[in-house]
Amino acid sequence: HKDLLDVSQLTVEEANHLLDTAEQFHEINQRPVKKVPTLKGKSVVLFFAEASTRTKTSFDVAGKRLSADTFALTKSGSSLTKGESLKDTALTLQAMNPDVIVIRHWSSGAAQYLAERLDCAIVNAGDGWHAHPTQALLDAFSLRQHWGRDFSGKTLLILGDILHSRVARSNVILLNKLGAKVRVCAPRTLLPAGVNDWPVTVYTNLNEAVQGVDAVMCLRLQLERQQAGLLPDLSEYATTYCLTARHLAMAAPGALVMHPGPMNRGLEIASDIADCAESLVLTQVASGVAVRMAILFLHATRKDGGSK
């Protein structure tokens, strides 16, 4: 593929190939000297029109570890603030002849819009509520370290603000491809209208949802995306949906805890659970570097001629 827009475009074999490639880069990341010349001479633009700590930094680290040149553009430091359109911004970036543009944008479909218009590879680093494929891939990479390559027989609960979550949408697709059973749990107001058509079991009661699961992925309550009047009462939300030790005791023994970050500690995840031995929160961050190295490698060196 020229671009990585969502995990829905990947076959199981392609997803596993990407994750296998990431294993090699993960090994490099454990060495005292982590830089390899693999992408020397390639250039990667990090175009982040929405805030990011993990995704932007780990793509930057990933590119530099592979010896690519990375260039960052954020909304506040760009001519987007002067009203320049997404298309003109992207064409301007392409005129500098990068090999890959990594884009995060508030608008669902922004990555696809660029992919259809530009010759260089477009990697979606999160578009609106739609998709966050690199997050789903790094989450799968983190789970692989505990579950192995085949997730069949495993059940993962995605808990929290499903409605606004591109992480949930991409994870539901990829986890199903890899053989896991997926549950989602949220108050009705934070479940998407079409959730009953998703390949998941839907819960509104956390005590029921958590029974016997092998992992719980907590999601941030996206306070900045709530529509007027629909924001739940935060203390009531925390009382009902914050993952605590009491809930984890109802999950399978040794159940893993995940959160894509950034976390609202005490709102969707209890602070002691975020830091517990079973928490993969920082493993997910480390996985992000290896997975994004694999993504940059596969897209900057692709041999399909770059057809749009």
- Residues at the site binding ligand CP, with contacts judged by CB under 6 A: 52-55, 126, 135, 260-262
Work out how close the CB of 161 gets to ligand CP at its nearest, in angstroms, rounded to a whole number: 13
| Residue 109 assigned to a binding site | no
Toward ligand CP, which CB reaches closer, 203 or 256?
256
Toward ligand CP, which CB reaches closer, 181 or 281?
281
Work out how close the CB of 78 gets to ligand CP at its nearest, in angstroms, rounded to a whole number: 18
Toward ligand CP, which CB reaches closer, 181 or 291?
291
CA 110 to each of CA 5, 117, 192, 235, 295: distance values in angstroms, whole numbers, following the listed order: 10, 11, 21, 35, 19
Work out how close the CB of 261 gets to ligand CP at its nearest, in angstroms, rounded to a whole number: 5
Whether 77 contacts 103, CB under 8 Å: no
Strand pairing category for 256-258 and 215-218: parallel
Work out how close the CB of 52 gets to ligand CP at its nearest, in angstroms, rounded to a whole number: 3
| Residue 166 assigned to a binding site | yes
| Residue 104 assigned to a binding site | yes
Element housing 94 (H / E): helix 86-94
| Residue 135 assigned to a binding site | yes
Work out how close the CB of 53 gets to ligand CP at its nearest, in angstroms, rounded to a whole number: 4
| Residue 146 assigned to a binding site | no
Q: Give dist(CA 55, CA 61) in Å, integer.
A: 10
Strand arrangement of the beta sheet that strand 100-105 belongs to = 69-74, 43-48, 100-105, 121-127
Toward ligand CP, which CB reaches closer, 129 or 203?
129
| Residue 183 assigned to a binding site | no
Toward ligand CP, which CB reaches closer, 90 or 102?
102
Whether 213 contacts 255, CB under 8 Å: yes
Q: Give dist(CA 213, CA 207) in Å, integer.
A: 11
Kindly compute the dihedral angle of the four CA atoms of residues 234, 256, 293, 89, in this order, to the nearest 10 degrees. -20
Q: Which residues are annotated as a binding site for L-aspartate?
A: 82, 166, 220
Q: Which residues are annotated as a binding site?
A: 54-55, 82, 104, 132, 135, 166, 220, 261-262
